[in-house]
Amino acid sequence: MEAEALFRRQCAACLKEDGTADGQRLIKLVLDTYRQANRNLAEQSRLLEIVLNHLPLGLCIFDSGQRLVVSNIRFQQLFGLETDDTRAGTSISSLIAKIDGLEKSEVRGTTREDRSDVGRIRRREWDMNDGRIIQSVVTVLPDGSNISIHADITDDRKAAERIAFLAHHDPLTGLPNRIRFREQMDTALAARKPDDQIALIHLNLDRFKSVNNTLGVSAGDKILRQVADRLRALAGKSNILARLGSDEFAILQCGRDQPWNVMALADQIRRELSEPFFRGEKAVELSVSMGIAINPKDGTETEVLLKHAGVALSHAKSGGRRGERFFTSEMEAQLEARHALEADLRRAVHNEEFELHYQPLYDMAARRICGFEALLRWNHPTRGRIAPMEFIPLAEEVGLIVDIGRWVLKRACMDAAAWPADIKVAVNVSAIQFISSDLEEDVSTALAVSELSPARLEIEITESVLMENREEALPILHALRQRGIRISMDDFGTGYSSLSYLSSFPFDKIKIDKSFVNDIVDNKEAYAIMRAIILLGDALGMRVTVEGVETAQQHDLLAQEACDEIQGYHISSPRPAFDVPQLLAGSHAQGQAQAM
């Protein structure tokens, strides 16, 4: 209609005044219009070509007879086709025959058919022989012709697969994570035959934190990867292995003859993981603790089995590590009691239910008390007074020792500030306080608020401080010593390597553990050992204190040795701060009497 209206207008424009038409003029007008239309068409097809060949997607159109009408270069590139292959008129089947890949016959979620206003939409995927994945979206029009666009989705698909993998695996070791492990356990438990027994080992590397602290996180990561490799080799194809957390792994062993099979596996794990990591000078040795629960005896559900293996693991840990424990129902009761104690302990910190008792340190030469060791007591609202050995290990494990230790330092310094100026105070400091708090700052605050001279403060540490965090502890110890605070090595002789630690730091004092004094009166060898340790301390220029002196005979024997101080029930048991003046008065009178 538009063309007809135009022609009418052109004719009207050519009418002369006499009513006749100007033929020449009409021809010119019509030809001009044709030329302009041709120019427009050429411009349009040029634009279309630019769009087609610059589209980042492959595009092709097939007519209702399934013959190619048009396609772009990207389409050729995606499917590795030549220009000749994509001539107009080529049939779909001959195109497909030239493609170096396979159309997936069924792609779940991708061979969908949607209906849109234009027609049916089909999604397809191609697995190309070179590994690429190409997705095609085909719009089929009502007359059977179709337009399709094609894209390389290899990277997107890989990213999606990686995300899906990471949701269920640990990126460091590539092992299944906790979420995946639970699913695998669910499946294994559901598939269990009546006679099967499924054993779960929950394992944890002992003291891995200190490895991380001393060697650095990247060395720690390397070790974890090696641990995973060793466990993978042991677990083989028949057992399920996972990494549950930082230094925690789990193995599910399906089969029969339990507990024998799982015992054998645990044994292998213990041996394999005790082989040093890294070689040469940097060799690191690790040990592992394991908790074991067996289905159906210890639980029939994933959740319960995991919990019980965890309970057994914490028993293995608290039983001195390096070993495995099978779950028992008593363990659970004990664990509940521990949780209750932990809850009470948290409240105790808040409510200040703690108290310090003081036990005299007795100077053998001056024959009088020269100081006191502060010993912590917990006045539990219902259970009465609780001894430190019953709650300090727990407080250390859950980190509460940091707050408690800070309080002890402050209280001890404040109490000591009220004593005569020549009386010292000794405070016990746990290994955890060296890593988890700013010990130097805590000591400074305690000294500042109490106005106690640093020379009157002694810090008692055990070898565990140097064993677990030597790198962090040594500078702190040096800094404290620089300020005039004295450092004592406590419980000397009870650890693995007290001797080697003596040379790593210039201790002011060693305190020989009370276990050495027990037999010195009746047993010559015990006496000889005691003498040797005293001489050693003396030779190193350290003051020597003997702990746990309970009788006058022990005291008399020690008086003949180069022992500087003694501590023990023979002098006095630990007493409340209130009793200190009285203890000092008695000791002072005694010292004067002896001197006369």
Choose between 128 and 529: whose C-beta lies nearer to Ca ion. 529
Give the nearest distance from C-beta 166 to Ca ion in angstroms: 49
Question: Which one-letter DSSP state was computed for residue 297?
Answer: T
81 binds, among ligand C2E, Ca ion, none (CB under 5 to 8 A by kind): none
Q: Using an 8 Å Cβ cutoff, are 448 and 457 in contact?
A: no
Cα separation, 223 vs 474, in Å, equals 25
Choose between 14 and 512: whose C-beta lies nearer to ligand C2E. 512
454: burial class by Cβ within 10 Å (0-12, 13-18, 19+)? middle
550 binds, among ligand C2E, Ca ion, none (CB under 5 to 8 A by kind): ligand C2E
Q: Half-sphere exposure (CA, 13 Å, Cβ side) for 321?
A: 9
376 binds, among ligand C2E, Ca ion, none (CB under 5 to 8 A by kind): ligand C2E
Cα separation, 29 vs 305, in Å, equals 93
Query: For strand 457-461 and strand 424-428, is the pairing parallel, antiparallel, or unpaired?
Result: parallel
Choose between 316 and 376: whose C-beta lies nearer to ligand C2E. 376
Residue 152 is a binding residue for Ca ion (CB under 5 A):
no
Residue 375 is a binding residue for ligand C2E (CB under 6 A):
yes
Sequence-separated (6 or more) residues with CB below 8 Å from residue 381: 353
Question: Which contiguous run of DSSP H or E holds residue 199?
Answer: strand 197-205
From 173, 253, 359, 428, residue interacting with Ca ion (rule: CB under 5 A): 428
Q: Which of residues 443-462 bind Ca ion (CB under 5 A)?
A: 460
From 146, 148, 258, 359, residue interacting with ligand C2E (rule: CB under 6 A): 359
Cα separation, 531 vs 547, in Å, equals 14
DSSP secondary structure letters along 463-515:
HHHHHHHHHHHHHHHHHHHHTT-EEEEEEETSSS-HHHHHTTS--SEEEE-GG
Give the nearest distance from C-beta 350 to Ca ion in angstroms: 26
Sequence-separated (6 or more) residues with CB below 8 Å from residue 234: 265, 268, 269, 272
Q: Half-sphere exposure (CA, 13 Å, Cβ side) for 423?
A: 26
Residue 430 is a binding residue for ligand C2E (CB under 6 A):
yes
The number of residues that bind Ca ion (CB under 5 A) is 5
- From the list 150-158, 162-170, 280-288, 384-392, the region that binds ligand C2E by CB under 6 A is 384-392
The binding track of 472-501 with respect to Ca ion, each residue x by CB under 5 A or -, is ------------------xx----------
Query: For strand 68-71 and strand 58-62, is the pairing parallel, antiparallel, or unpaired?
Result: antiparallel
Cα separation, 518 vs 200, in Å, equals 45
Supply the angle between the helices 401-417 and 439-450 in degrees, to the nearest 10: 30
408 binds, among ligand C2E, Ca ion, none (CB under 5 to 8 A by kind): ligand C2E
- Helix, strand counts (H, E) of the chain: 20, 22
Choose between 537 and 548: whose C-beta lies nearer to ligand C2E. 548
Give the nearest distance from C-beta 468 to Ca ion in angstroms: 17
Backbone phi, psi, residue 563, to 5°: -90, 125
Cα separation, 85 vs 91, in Å, equals 10
What region does 210 belong to: left with phi over 0, alpha with psi -120 to 50, or beta? alpha
Q: Using an 8 Å Cβ cutoff, are 242 and 177 in contact?
A: yes
Q: Half-sphere exposure (CA, 13 Å, Cβ side) for 30?
A: 14
Residue 428 is a binding residue for ligand C2E (CB under 6 A):
yes
371 binds, among ligand C2E, Ca ion, none (CB under 5 to 8 A by kind): none
From 80, 255, 388, 586, residue interacting with ligand C2E (rule: CB under 6 A): 388
- From the list 38-46, 315-323, 497-505, 542-550, the region that binds Ca ion by CB under 5 A is 542-550
Q: Half-sphere exposure (CA, 13 Å, Cβ side) for 156?
A: 6
From 491, 561, 564, 565, residue interacting with ligand C2E (rule: CB under 6 A): 491
Residue 408 is a binding residue for ligand C2E (CB under 6 A):
yes
Give the nearest distance from C-beta 167 to ligand C2E in angstroms: 43
From 392, 416, 425, 459, residue interacting with ligand C2E (rule: CB under 6 A): 392
Omega before 360 within 30 of 0, i.e. cis: no
Q: Which of residues 116-175 bind ligand C2E (CB under 6 A)?
A: none
Cα separation, 402 vs 435, in Å, equals 10
> Residue by residue, what is the 3-state secondary structure of 443-467?
HHHHHHHHCCCHHHEEEEECHHHHH
Residue 425 is a binding residue for ligand C2E (CB under 6 A):
no
Choose between 375 and 502: whose C-beta lies nearer to ligand C2E. 375
Choose between 406 and 456: whose C-beta lies nearer to ligand C2E. 406
Of 488, 494, 484, nearest in space to 507 by CA? 488
Of 428, 429, 424, nearest in space to 363 by CA? 424
The binding track of 311-350 with respect to Ca ion, each residue x by CB under 5 A or -, is ----------------------------------------
242 binds, among Ca ion, ligand C2E, none (CB under 5 to 8 A by kind): none
From 389, 421, 539, 595, residue interacting with ligand C2E (rule: CB under 6 A): 389
From 365, 387, 418, 479, residue interacting with ligand C2E (rule: CB under 6 A): 387
Residue 568 is a binding residue for ligand C2E (CB under 6 A):
yes
Give the nearest distance from C-beta 426 to Ca ion in angstroms: 7
Taking the mean position of all CA atoms in its chain, how far away is CA 238?
A: 27
Residue 200 is a binding residue for ligand C2E (CB under 6 A):
no
389 binds, among ligand C2E, Ca ion, none (CB under 5 to 8 A by kind): ligand C2E
Q: Which of residues 502-561 bind ligand C2E (CB under 6 A)?
A: 514, 548, 550
Choose between 328 and 518: whose C-beta lies nearer to ligand C2E. 518
Residue 430 is a binding residue for Ca ion (CB under 5 A):
no
Give the nearest distance from C-beta 376 to ligand C2E in angstroms: 4
- From the list 31-39, 239-247, 387-395, 576-584, the region that binds ligand C2E by CB under 6 A is 387-395
Note the residue count of the chain: 596
Q: Using an 8 Å Cβ cutoff, are 164 and 157 in contact?
A: no
Choose between 86 and 462: whose C-beta lies nearer to ligand C2E. 462
- Interface residue list for ligand C2E (CB under 6 A): 359, 375-376, 387-389, 392, 405, 408, 428-430, 490-491, 514, 548, 550, 568-569, 574
Residues that bind Ca ion (CB under 5 A): 428, 460, 490-491, 547
